[in-house]
Amino acid sequence: MTTAEDRNLTWHDHATGRKDLEELNSHRGATVWFTGLSGCGKSTVADYVSRMLHARGVRTAILDGDNVRQGLNSDLGFSPEARTENIRRIGEVAKLFTSFGIVNLLAFISPYSEGRDKARAMQSDGDFVEVFVDVPLAIAEERDPKGLYKKARAGIIPSFTGISAPYEAPEKPEVHLHTDKETPEESAVLVIKKLEEMGIVPGK
C-alpha cells in the first residue's frame, strides 16, 4: 500500500481550525455512528436527534446509507469487500465533519465490527460514539418499510444482512437502544444524554 508521502501528498492545516469552529459553535465536533439491521430505526432516531439538537443550536449533519450510496459510493455493490470500502469511505468523511466542529449522525447498517472499529480508530478518543440500534430480526422484518426483507426472502436481493449475510453486533457501544421497546423520541433522548455526559454538547 502506497503512503501519502509516496504520492507526494502533504496534509494542509487551515488557518481556521477545529478549535476555532468549536468555539463558534459552542459545542464539540463528533461522529455519532448508528448501526443496526435494516428497519431497526437508525435513520428515524438520527432524524429525531438532529431535530432536537438543532432546536438547541447544535450544528448537525446526517449521513444516511441510502443517500451516500446514490452519490459518493454509487460505484459500490454489496459484497463483503464493497461493504468494507463503503464504511472506509464514510469513516473518512465522518472524520472530516468532526474536524469541522459538527455533530455528524451516521445511519449505516455497517454489519462488520472490524469496519466500525477502523472508523473509530480514524478519530481521537471521545470523538466517536457508537449507537447500537437493537431490534429483534422478526420485528425488523415485520416492519420492512422498504420491502427489502420480502425481496431477500424471495431471493431477489442476494447477500442481505440478517437473512443471507451476517450482522456483527457491537460488544461495547456507547449507547444501546432497543427500538422495539422505546419510541424514537425516547431513543433520541438517550443518545443526547450520552453526548452531554461525554461533553460533546452542553446540557440544557
202 inside domain:
no
- The verdict on whether 110 is a catalytic residue reads yes
37 inside domain:
yes
157 inside domain:
no
Alpha-helix residue ranges (DSSP H) falling in the chain: 18-25, 42-54, 65-69, 80-99, 113-121, 137-143, 148-153, 184-197
| CATH number for the domain harbouring residue 64 | 3.40.50.300
74 inside domain:
yes
Q: Return the pLDDT at 14.
A: 77
Residues pairing with 63 in the sheet: 106
Q: Return d(Cα 187, Cα 202) in angstroms, integer.
A: 19
- Listed in sequence order, the residues at least 6 apart from 64 whose beta carbon sits closer than 8 Å to its beta carbon are 43, 46, 106, 107, 108
Count of structural domains within the chain: 1
Q: Which residues of the chain have pLDDT under 70?
A: 1-6
Which strands form 103-107's sheet, in the order they lie side by side?
Answer: 60-64, 103-107, 30-35, 128-134, 175-178
Q: Return the pLDDT at 190.
A: 98
160 inside domain:
no
10 inside domain:
no
54 inside domain:
yes
Residue-wise pLDDT for 16-51, tens only, equals: 888 988 988 999 999 999 999 999 999 999 999 999
Q: Return the pLDDT at 107.
A: 95
Q: Return d(Cα 16, Cα 76) in angstroms, integer.
A: 34
Q: Return the pLDDT at 5.
A: 67
Q: Return d(Cα 1, Cα 202) in angstroms, integer.
A: 42
76 inside domain:
yes
Residue tagged active-site, from 38, 43, 50, 110: 110
Q: Return the pLDDT at 115.
A: 94
Q: Return d(Cα 32, Cα 175) in angstroms, integer.
A: 10
Domain of 51? 18-135+167-196
The pTM assigned to this predicted structure is 0.90
Q: Which amino acid is residue 116, in one-letter code? A: R
- For the chain, the residue count is 204
